[in-house]
Amino acid sequence: MSTTHTARGRIKKTLRSSILDGGCHSAMLGFTQSYVTPFALALKATTAQIGLLSSIPNMVMALSQLAAPYLARRAGSRKRLILPVVLMHALMWIPILLVPFLCQSGAVWWLICFVALGTLFGSISNPAWGSMMADLVPENTRGRYFSHRTRVGDLAMLAASFAAGGILQFTTGKPFLGFSVVFGSAVAFRLASWYFLSRMYEPPFVVQATRRVAREHSRKRGPSSHLRRLAAYVSLINFATCLCGPFFAVYMLRDLKFDYLTYVGVNATSTIATIIFLSVWGKRADRAGNVRIIKVTSCLIPLVPLLWLVSKQVYYLLLVQAIAGLAWSGFNLATTNFLYDSSAREARTKSIAVFNAVNGMAMCLGSLVGGYLAPRLPLLNGSNLLTLFLVSGLLRMAIVLSPLRRLSEVRRVPRISTRELLFGKPRLLWIGMRNRVAPVLGPEPMLTASPAVVTAVAAAASWAHSAAAPSRSPPVLDDS
């Protein structure tokens, strides 16, 4: 009994440390993710070089995943692999911030090399980390836990991104000084992430499954077919996304002439939307399964680049980014959890590695093709990048409508309608309508309003209530 209590306490502390690690890692991303491309533009990078800046690190990431299971086995422990490479990932931002001061010629190419090397160290531990976290968090609470962890991380990323934008705006006359401060802050937060990772408890490491065990698992749950279909579907969507993904920053900074604070504000809107909707998606995923979330959010993803064609007004782009945050928050959360659910514990490190490798190669090819097409496409509303956005949106739509979207849930979940998935149980909506809708419509208009109006207001109130509800403590692995 005491042993069980001690194990549960250790896991509870580990999950808290993981949330702090996620917050620090996300803060590092806030200082870097949206600013590597502006840094390259400050170094006079061409459109083709921007494509390579995205594609080459993605290729390095994809290839590194294939070696991750072997390295984890050689290390004998997932933490023994994770900690050294995370430390190197933190230190790699130091040569990156020194590029404009030490590299008088070919600075952009040096930047590409250092970013690729940093991506190698930052990604090679992902399969081992995912395997360890899947062992720590039970599958029926992964939606709530990882949505809570991601929301904390997104808040940290949002704060770091605004801080970085303010630093760069303040140092407009000396941009490389500003980038040095920004990337130096990234080093500090990644080192803090390394510290919290070192405090985490690792469950016993199960080595790669034998062929007999793998065949038995495949016969019972058929994970190989689920994983292949998921990998193909997600990889193709990310290929289409990366056609234009690296060039939104170029479009805003070069074509629309946004200053850094406006650029940060537009990017931050998707993060804010992600924070708002993650808890909603997490609860829905635990109850209705991950496949339903994937299918619903997939329908929104093709709209995002197409909406960029409509207007150049900042307020309109903020709305578009909010839609992007709504769609991608659910899609990424559900695909990650589905990957954990559909892979055998004994083979989970390898399954995650293969999935990441395929996905990384697709993203690499997408960035390469996008960098090749961007300067060669005809102008649309004065910019060839808008034409690239159109191509990306149409390709995403074709993928979403393809048979690859027919995924099947691997765990038992109740069958619910799409309406109930989005807005909750209709009966509960009507029960809570008097408290939530009456203050909006008033008691008498409620009696005369059309059912469509009442349902719409009730649904919006339900979503707002779910998003604003205080998060429960992250779930802890039970005795089973």
Check whether residue 318 and residue 460 sit in a common domain. no
452 in a structural domain: yes
425: pLDDT confidence band, cut at 50, 70 and 90? Answer: low
| Cα-Cα-Cα-Cα dihedral sign, residues 323, 395, 126, 217 | positive
Q: Among residues 440, 43, 409, 69, which one has the least CA distance to residue 221?
A: 409
Domain count, the chain: 2
Q: What are the tens digits of pLDDT across the range 22-37?
A: 999 999 999 998 899 9
The Cα–Cα gap between 197 and 183 comes to 21
207 in a structural domain: no
Q: What is the pLDDT of residue 307?
A: 96
Check whether residue 197 and residue 74 sit in a common domain. yes
Residue with tokens 């289409």: 240
Q: What is the pLDDT of residue 228?
A: 83
75 in a structural domain: yes
The Cα–Cα gap between 129 and 123 comes to 10
Q: Which domain holds residue 443?
A: 421-468
Check whether residue 349 and residue 246 sit in a common domain. yes
The Cα–Cα gap between 414 and 419 comes to 14
Q: What are the tens digits of pLDDT across the range 226-276?
A: 788 888 999 999 999 999 998 999 999 999 999 988 999 999 999 899 988
Q: What is the CATH number of the domain that holds 15?
A: 1.20.1250.20
209 in a structural domain: no
210 in a structural domain: no
Check whether residue 459 and residue 341 sit in a common domain. no
- Average pLDDT estimate for 378-399: 94
331 in a structural domain: yes
The Cα–Cα gap between 404 and 229 comes to 6
- Average pLDDT estimate for 422-451: 47
Q: What are the tens digits of pLDDT across the range 265-287?
A: 999 999 899 988 888 888 887 77
φ, ψ of residue 344 in degrees (nearest 5): -65, 145
Q: What is the pLDDT of residue 444?
A: 45
Q: Among residues 158, 396, 377, 429, which one has the least CA distance to residue 270?
A: 158
Check whether residue 162 and residue 292 sit in a common domain. yes
Check whether residue 20 and residue 121 sit in a common domain. yes
413: pLDDT confidence band, cut at 50, 70 and 90? Answer: low
Check whether residue 367 and residue 463 sit in a common domain. no
Q: What is the pLDDT of residue 282?
A: 82
Check whether residue 387 and residue 320 sit in a common domain. yes
Check whether residue 62 and residue 162 sit in a common domain. yes
Q: What are the tens digits of pLDDT across the range 104-161?
A: 788 999 999 999 999 999 989 888 898 888 888 877 788 788 888 988 998 999 999 9
pTM of the entire structure?
A: 0.73
265 in a structural domain: yes
Check whether residue 457 and residue 403 sit in a common domain. no
Check whether residue 106 and residue 121 sit in a common domain. yes
Q: Which of 371, 396, 415 is the last residue of a domain?
A: 415
The Cα–Cα gap between 8 and 402 comes to 44
9 in a structural domain: yes
The Cα–Cα gap between 203 and 15 comes to 12
Check whether residue 403 and residue 428 sit in a common domain. no
